[in-house]
Structure 1
């Protein structure tokens, strides 16, 4: 049984100046808990003793009761303003014309490809698609990585693959799930993957790649390689349990992983202010005891610089880093979404006009004399022709061989799979009208 102690007796046992509430007093009787004018500043002047409990060794004992609801908001790092002007000359990127224009050209190519494939889905030629409009500046993060750093993507990282050398043919073959698709037709469109480019195949379920990234980073750490893992995800994925598990694993085992959150304002149709409270996603990194950066996600050079610094910490110190890139999704979540149902078209148009990552980068290049209208039009025209050519070729190819559904489940076909494969072959042979395989490639 618990002893019953009166509030009056409890009050007598606690010094009247021992408790301070922040930001509001506790909902107890004023007679029981009296606060004083003793400030935290004067309290800090006294000798402070660190706690000895193993759960929070950096804390100090205090005779002031402090109740916190919020911490100081984390600032958002930026290099350029919305007109592409560098705000602090010491942050002017020291890059070559070739390097800078490659990033911008890839941003333009991504836009062209998005437009064509989005329309292809609307015409029923592919089953699904997701565009990158409004978030193209994340390509700056790809430019800051080593080619052998492992990447775990979510849905909107086609630009990272493009930067690494994934060809237009490979993009189109994957979206059409044809016999040249590296994934052998086993994935939805935009679920890219490339072993050669160290890009793990995208998985549909939200946030599954986060704990996998922590595990891969731990393996890299044990191998002694001077590389890290980059894991991309949206702020919606940060509401999944896998997000918390992944960050805690990475922090406690000191894994060389960068968690790159594209906070684009909407988890499908749920706006950020309805999805979570507190200081965005960045505050969670601090809560898990890891280095954290909040960056202007529409600023290519800010993203590039933030990723550079994060990679140094991950590779040299074997510590995880969380980057929250603040941006805005201009397009629909996917071809299965109509964003006009949860936001106004005016809001979207305002973002396009006033804070466009493409415009920022183009103006910066023009200020250097590295870009102009003629180059813009020439590149768009060339890439549109190239995309349409790859698109047409991919559409004409056959689907992967039927036998591919049995391959790669195990290193070698197991007896039961061999039996199932044989049974299917007999059914196809016996009922050719019901099992038309003319549009499928022959088995190698």
Structure 2
């Protein structure tokens, strides 16, 4: 038997040492108890209540959106239940002037950033008005191409830097998105130019039906930051305080000129990948669902706030009723929005209509007038 060749270095040991550094950052455990007092973010009682309100509202929005989709009143929809801490707490750490570059599951963040709820519903229906953000609402339309938002974010962040803005661009993708070339290109470009970007990977364990351990041999996704020369952190994505603290620290570093950060949030989506026919029972077990339900971000945060006397059933019911009323009004507004026409799409595509489309435009305009 041939002896193993001796090498002047141990590359396996180097990898193991790197991977060991990426321990999960947590502040609240599953019982809502603080386990990392030193890391507690400086949030007032009112801010803690607001964060909880937004998470509860988002859970109701998810439930109603699923129902509306099943009724045929919404089009494409990707459920968000289970990811409220990852999505809402990270967004809560931002400022109004920051840019949010979402994936298709990240509609809640752009709603809380200022996109009217009715427009979010129109986006789901494929209506062009759903992508027409109001002036001053710094969001891009949800990206359908997996991972493409990472490249967009790198570009936006570089633009912010060149303009001398004290703002950041944040983007989101899933664990599956971290396997895309755009993911690596985005974090590498932003790192090279020290651009103020925050890259979030919401590791909800499955890219549709592909489990996370099939995506990469890496022990964590956060460690991929090392290859781009930027900081990376693994966060308990079911812990809103940990997600907030990690995102806020990343933002503070970015506006101070210290460049981008990669944040991996360990979380779980309770529903299907999308409402377009995915059946999670084919690739997830009941035991896995039960295990993650015990980590529910709303339950965890609720226990924490109740212990502090900041939350109760009455407050939660108020938020639930408000959400239902606003959703009802928004879907009616979406229903009342004029149907989009072919001529609408041609008009918004070009500032000056190309000569070869003028004739087609007149044909459609005549048809639509009848």
TM (norm. structure 1) is 0.77
Cα separation, 1, equivalents of 2:142 and 2:123: 12
Residue of structure 2 aligned with 1:364, choices 283, 304, 307: 304
Residue of structure 1 aligned with 2:242, choices 295, 302, 311: 302
Cα separation, 2, equivalents of 1:207 and 1:194: 25
- The reply on whether 1:423 has 2:368 as its aligned counterpart is no
Q: Pick which of 259-268 and 65-74 moved more.
A: 65-74
Using the TM superposition, give the Cα deviation of residue 272 of structure 1 relative to its aligned residue in structure 2, in angstroms.
0.5
Using the TM superposition, give the Cα deviation of residue 94 of structure 1 relative to its aligned residue in structure 2, in angstroms.
2.6
Residue of structure 2 aligned with 1:80, choices 18, 25, 28: 28
What corresponds to 1:162 in structure 2? Answer: 111
Contact 2:101 2:169 in 1 (8 A): yes
What corresponds to 1:183 in structure 2? Answer: 131
What corresponds to 1:405 in structure 2? Answer: 345
Using the TM superposition, give the Cα deviation of residue 168 of structure 1 relative to its aligned residue in structure 2, in angstroms.
2.9
Specify whether residues 203 and 159 from structure 1 end up closer, same or farther in structure 2 by C-alpha distance, changes over 3 A only: closer
What corresponds to 1:141 in structure 2? Answer: 90
Q: Is the partner of 1:408 in helix, strand or coil? A: helix
Specify whether residues 194 and 243 from structure 1 end up closer, same or farther in structure 2 by C-alpha distance, changes over 3 A only: farther
Residue of structure 2 aligned with 1:283, choices 195, 198, 223: 223
Specify whether residues 211 and 176 from structure 1 end up closer, same or farther in structure 2 by C-alpha distance, changes over 3 A only: closer
What corresponds to 2:184 in structure 1? Answer: 244
Using the TM superposition, give the Cα deviation of residue 318 of structure 1 relative to its aligned residue in structure 2, in angstroms.
4.0
Contact 1:135 1:329 in 2 (8 A): yes
Cα separation, 2, equivalents of 1:242 and 1:211: 6
Residue of structure 2 aligned with 1:414, choices 351, 354, 358: 354
Residue of structure 2 aligned with 1:100, choices 48, 72, 94: 48
Matches within 5 A, 1:331-342: 331-336=271-276, 337-342=278-283
Return the index of the structure with the highest Cα Rg.
1
What corresponds to 1:58 in structure 2? Answer: none
- The reply on whether 1:380 has 2:325 as its aligned counterpart is no
Residue of structure 1 aligned with 2:101, choices 149, 152, 168: 152
Residue of structure 2 aligned with 1:273, choices 213, 237, 240: 213
Residue of structure 1 aligned with 2:286, choices 318, 328, 345: 345
Contact 1:290 1:321 in 2 (8 A): yes
Q: Is the partner of 2:263 in helix, strand or coil? A: strand
Q: Is the partner of 2:11 in helix, strand or coil? A: coil
Using the TM superposition, give the Cα deviation of residue 172 of structure 1 relative to its aligned residue in structure 2, in angstroms.
3.0
Contact 2:79 2:269 in 1 (8 A): no
Contact 1:103 1:163 in 2 (8 A): no
What corresponds to 1:264 in structure 2? Answer: 204
Query: Which runs of no fewer than 5 residues in structure 2 stay unpaired?
Result: none
Cα separation, 2, equivalents of 1:427 and 1:162: 36
What corresponds to 2:252 in structure 1? Answer: 312
- The reply on whether 1:64 has 2:8 as its aligned counterpart is yes
Contact 1:182 1:194 in 2 (8 A): no
**For residues 98-149 of structure 1, what are the alpha-carbon distances to aligned partners after superposition, in whole Å with 9 as ceiling and x for unaligned?**
2111111111111111111211211222222111111100211111112111
Contact 1:168 1:387 in 2 (8 A): yes
Residue of structure 1 aligned with 2:121, choices 154, 157, 172: 172
Q: Which has the higher helix share?
A: 2
Cα separation, 2, equivalents of 1:146 and 1:129: 27
Cα separation, 1, equivalents of 2:96 and 2:224: 29
Query: Which runs of no fewer than 5 residues in structure 1 stay unpaired?
Result: 1-27, 36-62, 185-192, 433-444
TM (norm. structure 2) is 0.91
Q: Is the partner of 1:68 in helix, strand or coil? A: helix
Cα separation, 2, equivalents of 1:404 and 1:130: 27
- Cα RMSD of the aligned pairs, angstroms, is 2.2
Contact 1:130 1:335 in 2 (8 A): yes
Number of equivalent positions: 364
